[in-house]
Every structure is written in C-alpha cells, then in structure tokens.
Amino acid sequence: MKTKVLVTREVFDEVLEYLSQYFDVTSNPSDVPLDPETLAAKLSDKQGALITLSDRIDAPLLSRCPNLRAVCNIAVGYNNVDLEACRKARVMATNTPGVLDDTTGDFTWVLILATARRLTEAEAHLRNGQWEGWKLKQFLGLDVHHATLGIFGLGRIGQVVARRAVGFEMKIIYHDVRRVPPKIEQACRATFVAKEELLGQADIVTIHVPYSSAAHHLIGKQELERMKPTAILINASRGGIVDDVALIEALRKGTIAGAGLDVFENEPKLNPGFLELKNVVLAPHIASSSKATRLKMAMLAAENLVAALTGGSPPNLLDPF
Ligand code: DGY
C-alpha cells in the first residue's frame, strides 16, 4: 500500500503530479483552510503532510495522528509549527528557506516606495474622482534616495533589501540579535547599531526577523515613539512582530508618517483601524507571491516530504531528533 499524504491547501498541478509518483495524495482543490478539527481528522491516517501557515501543528493535533512522520511547510517562517511537540512525537518538520529571498526583498521595496511616495493614497484620490489637477503641495512624500534605511534582521531577506538600497545611495544601518560577519556587512554596506539608535536615526525602518516569542511586539508603543515623526515602518516578515494596536495609534497621532504592511496580527482578520487610515499601504501577505517563487516554494516543500518519507534526508529539516 502506498504511503498516504495530505496536501492541506491548493498547490500547483506539477507539485501534485510529483507527489503522486511516490504517495497516495489527498489534496484540497477548493483551497478552504482546514479548521483544527478537520485537519486532525484528515491527518489521522496519513504519514505526511504538505502544510501552509494556515495549519497549526501542535501537541493536541499530533496526539491524534499516530502515523504522521513529516510535516513540510510551504513557507520559510514556521511559527505555525510547534517544533518541540514535533520532536516529542518524532515528526520531522521542514521549511523552504532560500528560494523566496529575492522575491520577498523585491516586495519590501514595493512597500518602501509606495509608502514613502504615498502611492495607494494618491491612487485612491484619483480613482474616487477627487483629482482637480496638479498642485505644488499635493501628496508630498519622503525621498528614498540618500535616506537612512534601518534594517531589523540582516539575514537572507534583510541582505537582499540592503543590496537593493545601494542603487538609492542610502545610508544603511542594521540591528540583529548578533552582528553578521564583516564580509556580509561590507557586501551590504551596512553598519551595526543598537536598537534604539536604529529607531532614532532611520527614515525607513524595515523588519526582517523571524517570528518567535522573543520577537513578539519587537515594535510597540515605545519603539514607535523613538522613531522620527517623518519616518515610515515596513513589515513584510510576520504578524505579531509589530503591535498592530500601537501602530494604528501611532499612525493616527502622527507619531510616525506612514507604514507599509504585508503581514498582520490574527491574519486574515485585519484590525479595522488600519482601513480608516490613509497613511498605510496594505497588502494581503503576498511578499513571496511571484509565480516562479511560489512554485519553487511548493516544489521544495514537496521534495522535503519525499525525502522524509522515502528514507532520505530532507534538505530543510528544522529540528533533527
Ligand atoms: C514565508 O515563507 O514565511 C512567507 O511568509 C509565506 O508567504
């Protein structure tokens, strides 16, 4: 009998075809996110799963899936997976690092430029028929060129963002839990500074750290108050790293000038406060969403699953036990 796997959300046909060479595949072509009860029921007789960030893998779920041996996330972030619970249940967990760095870095620049130059606000004005003609002081924005870019997290994606900044002749400062090797600092032309210094100096603060309990509300009321009133905040990392309530308040009061956001607390439920604000650019978690990159992510996750369940070594095993 073939090994059984579940693909929890809609994926590309070539990914299903590849998995079907090895496994008996149950898929979810309707793409409806599975609630915890349905996910547990569907996984109860499976050996493996291709999962996404809408699937929570934790101890209660694992206790109901005695045959499960691998969960392979189609994402580099894996805060939807309790690694400790996986280790105890001897379930391998994998992610998809590397393949989405450039695309996510590109989209960070979409957010930086759109927020600094108030593009979505200006477009709404035009679409609503409010434009009465050219005005000297219309939609005055922030210059990106020669500005100071502050990067939280100079990992793979942070480095891509820094390298793209060179063309804008920016000053680049960064903060991270530890300094990156000098070779990387030089390649990125980035200078390490303390968190407070970054917040106080940067015209554009952009976040590229993975979510963890230590990174929860890394940017809250206090941090926003340290930023320049002319500065903008960009987040294409994970919801929960920024305190959304504090950010909405800061955007309302003009503590900072604007924000560009691809991720939110409690996705997909957006805090309605964001919708009332003009000085925020909003995107529905699409930073890695180019056709080529999403295919690479899904394929890499599938390769991890095949390796895990055929006795190989998954290329992106998160926590060997
Ligand atoms: C990731 O890979 O973690 C992205 O957020 C998924 O879009």
pLDDT of residue 241: 98
Closest-CA residue, ligand 1 atom 6, reads 75
At residue 308, the 3 state secondary structure works out as helix
Q: Torsions phi, psi of 269, nearest 5?
A: -80, 110
- Average the pLDDT over 32-60 and give the result: 97
Is residue 195 within 8 A of residue 219, CB to CB? The reply is: no
Residue 144 has pLDDT above 90, yes or no: yes
Residue 320 has pLDDT above 80, yes or no: no
Residue 319 has pLDDT above 90, yes or no: no
Q: How far apart are alpha carbons 255 and 291 in whole angstroms? A: 37
* pLDDT tier for residue 165 given thresholds of 50, 70 and 90: very high
Structure tokens at 168: 């804008």
- Average the pLDDT over 273-285 and give the result: 98
β partners of residue 23: 3
* pLDDT tier for residue 140 given thresholds of 50, 70 and 90: very high
Residue 291 has pLDDT above 90, yes or no: yes
pLDDT of residue 103: 99
For the Cβ of 210 lying below 6 angstroms from any atom of ligand 1, the answer is no
pLDDT of residue 163: 98
Which residue out of 288, 290, 295, 296 has the highest number of ligand 1 atoms within 8 Å of its CB and is therefore the one to mutate?
288
Give the distance (Å) from ligand 1 centre to CA of residue 110. 17
Q: What is the pTM of this model?
A: 0.97
Residue 8 has pLDDT above 80, yes or no: yes
Question: Pick from 207, 280, 198: which is nearest to 237 by CA?
Answer: 207
Residue 193 has pLDDT above 90, yes or no: yes
Residue 321 has pLDDT above 80, yes or no: no
pLDDT of residue 1: 87
Question: What whole-number percentage of the chain has pLDDT above 90?
Answer: 98
At residue 311, the 3 state secondary structure works out as coil
Helices 291-309/13-20 angle, 10° precision: 10
Is residue 255 within 8 A of residue 246, CB to CB? The reply is: no
pLDDT of residue 55: 98
At residue 236, the 3 state secondary structure works out as coil
Structure tokens at 111: 């957010």
Residues marked active site are found at 238, 267, 285
Closest-CA residue, ligand 1 atom 3, reads 77
Helices 119-127/101-116 angle, 10° precision: 60
β partners of residue 192: 174
Give the distance (Å) from ligand 1 centre to CA of residue 77. 6
Question: Residue 133: exposed, middle, or buried by beta-carbon count in 10 A (0-12, 13-18, 19+)?
Answer: exposed
- Using the 8-state DSSP alphabet, how is residue 47 labeled? S
Residue 300 has pLDDT above 80, yes or no: yes
* pLDDT tier for residue 192 given thresholds of 50, 70 and 90: very high
Residue pLDDT, tens place only, 250-273: 999 999 999 999 999 999 999 999
Structure tokens at 110: 């979409």
Q: Which residue has the tokens 């979409």?
A: 110
- Strands of the sheet containing 3-7, edge to edge, are 23-26, 3-7, 48-51, 70-73, 92-94
Residue 223 has pLDDT above 80, yes or no: yes
Structure tokens at 173: 């400062």
For the Cβ of 76 lying below 6 angstroms from any atom of ligand 1, the answer is yes
- Average the pLDDT over 171-200 and give the result: 98
Residue 37 has pLDDT above 90, yes or no: yes
Closest-CA residue, ligand 1 atom 1, reads 75
* pLDDT tier for residue 208 given thresholds of 50, 70 and 90: very high
pLDDT of residue 234: 99
